[in-house]
């Protein structure tokens, strides 16, 4: 289960919803919550037509009032304002995630996708890409509250060990919410290497159909092992292997199973780097309205359930 949740806040009502989602997770696992604001250089007074914190005193007052409301519900809540203005909010968040030994950052994504997001990734991608902590990136529905607790957690796997790092935090989140988990592996049918397979596999003897059949069988055995382990933990879990384009298949699967959260490991790639690496997170972040649990692929940074 999660031990310490970090919630970055900018003063907006949309971002504040993340604090209450974090409160719900913390309440179910007796975890600590730290509310954080990082002072920016020349911060705007408003963002996405909502209030934005600008100074230390304003941030201290805002975080203090919110912390008091959360403590009134019996939660262990701390607050911190990073006083030194920073040009990189992601670096400031990463520093405090490490300092506070947080195992999950809960934050909101709101507003349109900007050009800068496409080039360097949004704040959640940048933070997860630092390899220090998993990030629960929430979507704020227009004019509505985030639906919580979550009911279905979708995890994309491809047999690569670094991508299995998403399983532990996904299971912790599912346990906290008493949610079901659905595992999916996509066997790519493109001319390039399938997920989790070296390119040389495409040149093995035999027909393409036979190669794909064998890969599907291997994926089914692979998922069956993880499925059994999750069920041993008391988590309702299902799994499927589907053939096709990974981004398309995962997007369709998220809709078909009504996933509240999609779990993806990330190397922090965005923009042209993500294009050439065929990175899934940037593609899916633009296509789905679900929340995303982004787990660093380069470092453990995952809770132990």
Domain ranges of the chain: 4-111, 152-296
CB 78 within 8 A of CB 37: no
Average pLDDT, integer, range 101-111: 84
Whose CA is closest to 62, among 110, 19, 122? 19
> What's the CATH code, domain 4-111?
3.40.50.620
Task: Give pLDDT tens digits for 227-276.
Answer: 999 999 999 999 999 998 888 999 999 999 999 999 988 765 444 343 33
Indicate whether 198 pLDDT > 60.
no
* HSE-up (13 A, CA, CB side) for residue 299: 12
Indicate whether 197 pLDDT > 70.
no
CB 59 within 8 A of CB 31: no
User: What is the C-alpha to C-alpha distance for residues 39 and 54, in angstroms, rounded to an integer?
Assistant: 7
| pTM to 2 decimal places | 0.83
> What's the CATH code, domain 152-296?
3.40.50.620
Find the length of the chain. 305
200 burial via Cβ count (<10 Å: 0-12, 13-18, 19+): exposed
Task: Give pLDDT tens digits for 286-305.
Answer: 788 889 998 887 654 444 33
């Amino acid at each position: 289960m999660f031990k310490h949740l970090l919630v970055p806040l900018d003063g907006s009502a949309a971002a504040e919803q993340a604090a209450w989602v974090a409160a719900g997770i913390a309440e179910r696992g007796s975890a600590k919550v730290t509310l954080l604001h990082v002072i920016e250089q020349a911060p705007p007074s408003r963002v996405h037509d909502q209030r934005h914190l600008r100074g230390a005193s304003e941030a201290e007052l805002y975080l203090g009032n919110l912390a008091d409301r959360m403590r009134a519900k019996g939660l262990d809540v701390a607050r911190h304002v990073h006083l030194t203005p920073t040009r990189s909010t992601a670096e400031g968040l990463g520093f405090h995630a490490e300092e506070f030994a947080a195992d999950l950052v809960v934050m909101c994504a709101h507003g349109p996708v900007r050009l800068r997001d496409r080039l360097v990734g949004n704040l959640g991608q940048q933070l997860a890409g630092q390899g220090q902590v998993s990030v629960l990136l929430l979507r704020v529905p227009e004019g509505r509250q985030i639906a919580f607790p979550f009911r279905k957690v979708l995890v994309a796997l491809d047999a690569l060990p670094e991508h299995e790092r998403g399983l532990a935090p996904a299971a912790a989140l599912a346990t906290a919410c008493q949610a079901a988990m659905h595992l999916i592996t996509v066997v790519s049918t493109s001319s390039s290497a399938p997920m989790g397979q070296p390119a040389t596999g495409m040149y093995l003897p035999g027909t393409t159909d036979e190669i794909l059949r064998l890969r599907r069988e291997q994926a089914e055995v692979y998922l069956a092992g993880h499925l059994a382990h999750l069920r041993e933990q008391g988590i309702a879990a299902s799994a499927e292997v589907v053939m096709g384009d990974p981004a398309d298949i995962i997007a369709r699967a998220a809709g078909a199973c009504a996933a509240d959260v999609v779990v993806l490991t990330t190397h922090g790639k965005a923009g042209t780097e993500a294009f050439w690496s065929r990175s899934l997170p940037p593609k899916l972040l633009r296509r789905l309205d679900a929340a995303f649990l982004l787990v660093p692929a380069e470092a453990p940074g995952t809770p132990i359930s």
